[in-house]
Structure formats: C-alpha cells, structure tokens
Amino acid sequence: MQRSDLMQDPTVSSLALARFEAEEEGAAALMLALSVLWHPDARRIGQQALLAQSARPWLLSRKEPLFFAPGEGAGLPLEHASVSRSPVQLCPAPDGSVQLLVAEPERVRCELDGQALLSAPGLAGVRLAAERLRTGVVVLLGGEVWLCLHWVRTPPPAAQGPSSNTGLVGISSAIRRLRQQVAAMAASELPVLLLGESGTGKELVARALHAGSPRRARPMVSVNMAALTEGLAASDLFGAARGAYTGAAQARPGLFAEAAGGTLFLDEIGDTPPAVQPMLLRVIESSEYRALGSGRTERADVRLIAATDRELQAAAGFNQPLLRRLEALVISLPPLRERREDLGVLILHLLQRGPAQALLPPPHLPSRVLRALFLHHWPGNVRQLGHALQRLLMAAQSGDWLGEQELLGLAPTPQAAGPSGSAAGVTTWPDTAAMAPARRRYRAPDEITAEQLIHALDLSGWCLREAAQALGVSRPSLYNLLARHPEVRQADQLSGEEIRAALAGRPGEASLSELASRLRTPREALRRRLRALGI
C-alpha cells in the first residue's frame, strides 16, 4: 500500500500513517547491531558495533567486534576480564533470524533475555527470530557486560551523540529519526501533533521544537487541556474582559496572549472541553480570537504544538476538522519497549541528571538490578523508568538494594505467567541451575558445581552475601566452596604490585566489583586488603 492510498482512507489514523512512514523509510536499510547497555567502564555505555552482511558468522568475544562511539573514528573491543576470549558465534539467516552458537558455555557465561545458556548442558545453539530482534535481545556476557542485539535502520551519523543537542537521549534508530524530525520541523510555523504513550517524552519533544525554532527567544507556554474546566476554559485560553463573568473585576490575558511571539503547547489535547474545540479551530484557520466578553479581535501570533496519548480519529466528541488542522505535521514517539537498546544511556543519563550527580561516577548496580531494568516491559515508558531509578537511589543511599517488585513499583502479589513467561507486562526470566528460586531454599553444597559458583559470583559482583542467596547455600557452606575452588584467591595473599597492575590504566575508575572480578577474590575481603595496603 502506498502513502497516498492511506491518506485518502478516512479510517486510517494519523498515528497509523506516521508509523507507516517510519517503517517505509527504513525498510530497505536494516542492519544488525550490538549496543553496549552497561559496562563497568561507563564510557563504553552506548557504543555500537554494526554487523555487516557476511557469509561467515560474526564473532562476539573479549577481542571482537569493535564498538564505536558516535563521532569517534577508532573502535574498541569489549576488553573486560569477565568476557571470555572464547567467542559466541552469530550466524545470520536469509529470513532475518540469527542462530547463536556457543561452543564452551561454561567459559563464556552468556545469557539471552535472562536465560543462561549454562542451564542447558549440550546446547548447540539458539535461534533468534527476526521479530524478537526487532525489539532487541538483551545479552549478558560474563556477568558484567550487558549488550543489546537488535536491528538498526541506518548507520548512526558520525557526529550525533546519545543526546545530540535536543535533549532527546538515545542511540536507537527510532530516537535518531525523532531527532531528525524535530530538526526538520522546528523552523516551520505549521501546527505539530505529537502522538505517543504516556511517559514517552512528548513535552520534551515540544520543548526541543521550540528551542530549535525562530521563536526560541519568546516564551513557550504549556497547558494541560484535561485540567481546564468547561466553564472557564475559554477565558483561560483567550482571556476575559472586565465584567465578562461573575468575579471578573478586571481584564486578564489568556494563554494565547502569554505565548505571543512564542509557542503554545496544548498537552492532552484529546481531553479539550467540547465547547472550546470550535474556538481553537477558528484560531488555527484565521489566526484571530476574541477574549471572553470583548468586542475586539486579537491577533494570535503563536505556534501551536499539541500532544495526546489517545486515538483521536475514533475519539467520541472530538472535533474532526480541528484534528485535521492540528495534524499538519505529525511526530509519533516510540515506546521504550521498542527501543530497548536505549535503556543503558537512558539509565546513565537519569542517574547523573543534575550538576552534582553529573560529577560523580555512576553507582555500581548489582546484576539482579540491571537484569530487572533491562528486561522489564516499561508500560509507563521513560517516566516510569525515572521513578524506578529514584526509588533505587534512595534505597541505595541507606545501604540497601530494592527487590524486583519494589524497584519496578509492582504489587507484591503472585501472578500467573503466560506462555511466554510474562505476566501483567513484566518480563520474567528462567534462573540458571546456579540460581535459587524466588522462595528461599537451601541446597546442599555438593549440588553446586565449580562453574555455577563462579557464575553466581560474577552475577553478584563477587559479593558473598548475594552469591550465597543466589545459590541457595549458607554463608559457611559458601566459604567451604570458595576454599576448594582453584580460581578463587584469598585477598590477603594478593600483593600490592598485583593489585596496582590490575588497576593500571584506569586508577580510581574501576569499581570494587570489577577489581574483584579481575582478581577473582571476594569483594569485602578485597576492600579490607586495599585499606591495609593503603591503596
């Protein structure tokens, strides 16, 4: 179907048309990419590796492929001690799917959307369907490095960073296209209709449109149309003359007058009182209005931007001619679940928002916290993510980490999972053989293999308390397992030279968990050793 056919069909909404255009533009330019969601070195978050078409499998390991930051000509491999040199093979198929093969799952320690490959001995490979790749597959390597395997529409522009100059944070094709639309539409005087679910950032886009327009030096005035009462909506928008209604002791300007020369942002336009909708239509058509009770016509010198999370095409009581005027230009904002590759840079941005936080390194987030953040469905989009991170930081300041239910703001009631393992919009993940069920159950130490022990330690950042809980063993039993494992080292046997060598190149930036993972020693014991050595 062509765009012209859709435009002539009265049953096709502006939202459906915008989505069609987005898919049409990028259909012929799909490429597979790996984006760094989280890395112990925060500077790596948001870097991407584009996987070019090839008859040979792509290899993913500590040494390859190269990941590039926007605007940088030189790429770097993942280069982290937790990531194995033994590669994961990614084999593309003609139907758009990708076969993932791991020859040595015990060494690689790889998870896909929370499913640990270690939990399926003898596993030859996993097929990732094209549709699953469209929304992004979360890959965890070595318990420390998180990636997203996904499609991109076009290679990222060389000079465009995760937020560019618009404040719109992200590295996905969807957010890049959104920034391009903002740049293209900002200079226009035509009304813009912003379509998107609650929490996707419609007001942020409106502010970016205003900031990029010739009206940027004049005010931008925002109004929530759902908050306007039927009786006072007209006077709030257009003003009122003295004596226009009971209590109007003096004339007052309306929001159109306040925004003169600038931008008027009409949020929740779908909830506009019905009596005001024809008035708005007249303003758009003639650029004129009259204050309530006034006989003088005023000139409306504003650029209108409207936003809604509703389908106005089928909305009962909404003025359809007004909708046609408002949608002269349309921007459809993507939900967060459709740009999972943006989660890492968004989390980093939200954690460091504010001048004080921007000077601090991001906190070390346990793997179970990152797993919950990266695998959640986020029905409330970026707003919900921001609230979750606020709860997380408040709890972390008191020395505690929230459980999944508290972190995501979910009611702590058991819910039945569907066929895909999801319930009420929450993505769940199967535990590995090394991880205990949600209900605490102690296991015999003999049930824990050496590989499962290291896997649990890596997932917990080498924190013994978290590792013991994950494995379902007591702390004394964990100590016995550590004493028998050949890879685990005693912190008091580490020399200062060896510790300094592990820190070389990035002094002060390596987290304690990262250092513990490099040295293969428990985190708290390493902390005491560092103090004793004065490091």
The predicted model scores a pTM of 0.70
Q: Give yes or no for a cis peptide into 65 (omega within 30° of 0).
A: yes
* Strand ranges for 309-404 from DSSP E: 329-332
- Between helices 496-503 and 523-533, what is the axis angle to 10°? 110
Q: What is the mean pLDDT of residues 353-361?
A: 56
Contacts of 184 (CB under 8 A, 6+ apart): none
3-state secondary structure of 400: coil
CATH class of residue range 191-327: alpha beta
Quickly list DSSP for 75-97.
-B----TTS-SSPEEEEE-TTS-
User: Which range, of 286-295, 436-445, 460-469, 510-519, averages the lowest pLDDT?
Assistant: 436-445
Quote the pLDDT of residue 415: 41
Rounded to whole angstroms, the Cα distance separating 457 from 513 reads 10
Listed by start position, the domains of the chain span: 30-152, 191-327
Out of 2.40.50.100, 3.90.550.10, 2.60.40.10, 2.60.200.20, the CATH code matching 30-152 is 2.60.200.20
Contacts of 511 (CB under 8 A, 6+ apart): 40, 364, 461
Check pLDDT > 60 for residue 174. yes
Query: Residue 100 is inside which H or E element, if any?
Result: strand 98-102
3-state secondary structure of 52: coil
Rounded to whole angstroms, the Cα distance separating 97 from 114 reads 19
Rounded to whole angstroms, the Cα distance separating 187 from 310 reads 27
pLDDT tens across 211-223, in order?
999 999 999 999 9
Radius of gyration of the chain (CA): 27
**Residue 107 confidence class, pLDDT cut points 50, 70, 90:** confident
Say how many Å lie between the first and final Cα of the chain, rounded.
66
Give me the phi and psi of 480, to 5 degrees please.
Answer: -65, -40
Neighbours of 324 (CB within 10 A): 12
Are 30-152 and 191-327 in the same CATH fold? no
Give me the phi and psi of 369, to 5 degrees please.
Answer: -70, -45
Residues paired with 148 in a beta bridge: 35, 138
Q: What is the mean pLDDT of residues 501-525?
A: 74
Rounded to whole angstroms, the Cα distance separating 272 from 120 reads 56
